[in-house]
Amino acid sequence: MADRPIYVIDDEPEMCRSLALLLSTDGSPARSFSSADVFLDMLDRLSPGIIISDVMMPGTDGIELLACLAARERDDPVIIIAGHADVPLAVKALQAGALDLLEKPFEAKALFAAIAAARRRTTDLDAARATLISLSRREREVLSFIIDGATTKEIALKLTISPRTVETYRAHLMEKTGADSIPMLVRLGIHAGLG
């Protein structure tokens, strides 16, 4: 699978230029946007990517951008960059869904490490979705109940099947997803959008 495009959002033209130049040295061309509002106006025409966004901008800021992406059901990983990153800001950004927060000026290796983590995350999401597509309707139902924390007996009652059948479905789910534990199965289901 080809790497997702990288979108740089910063109201400082020099920062956009320097990030685009830095990313090009790694063979990762970037598309720049002067504000989150400009980016959001074009979002429906943009393929899923990796977003590097300043936190403090006129109009929609980086934290609000995360909420807008979630509301529009986009799962593009977001790396927030900030001139002054204190602990409360970092916590707020991560709680809002940012993958990472880097304080300016940051080293190139820190940015490339964050991008590598974002690429791993998108690969995991794509694999989880592909697995979900391969599941039968009943397997998806059982997985949804497992994610919700239902016991085997509760699932059997809700689906009007025997507990033994639920266990068979669970075994098939473990085999199809490659999960070696229920917590891993739950994580995969959440990544695939069932949680």
Give the model confidence (pLDDT) of 169-181 as tens digits: 999 998 888 777 8
**pLDDT band per the 50, 70, 90 thresholds, residue 92:** confident
**pLDDT band per the 50, 70, 90 thresholds, residue 195:** low
Q: Is the bond preceding 58 in cis, omega lying within 30 degrees of 0?
A: no
pTM: 0.70
Sign of CA dihedral 114, 118, 124, 128: positive
pLDDT in tens, 114-133: 999 998 888 877 777 788 78
pLDDT in tens, 22-77: 998 888 889 999 999 999 999 999 999 999 999 999 999 999 999 999 899 888 99
- Quote the CA–CA distance of 86 and 99 in Å, as a whole number: 16
At residue 27's C-alpha, the angle toward residues 21 and 32, to 5°, is 45
pLDDT for residue 89 is more than 50: yes
At residue 192's C-alpha, the angle toward residues 65 and 8, to 5°, is 30
- Quote the CA–CA distance of 104 and 183 in Å, as a whole number: 37
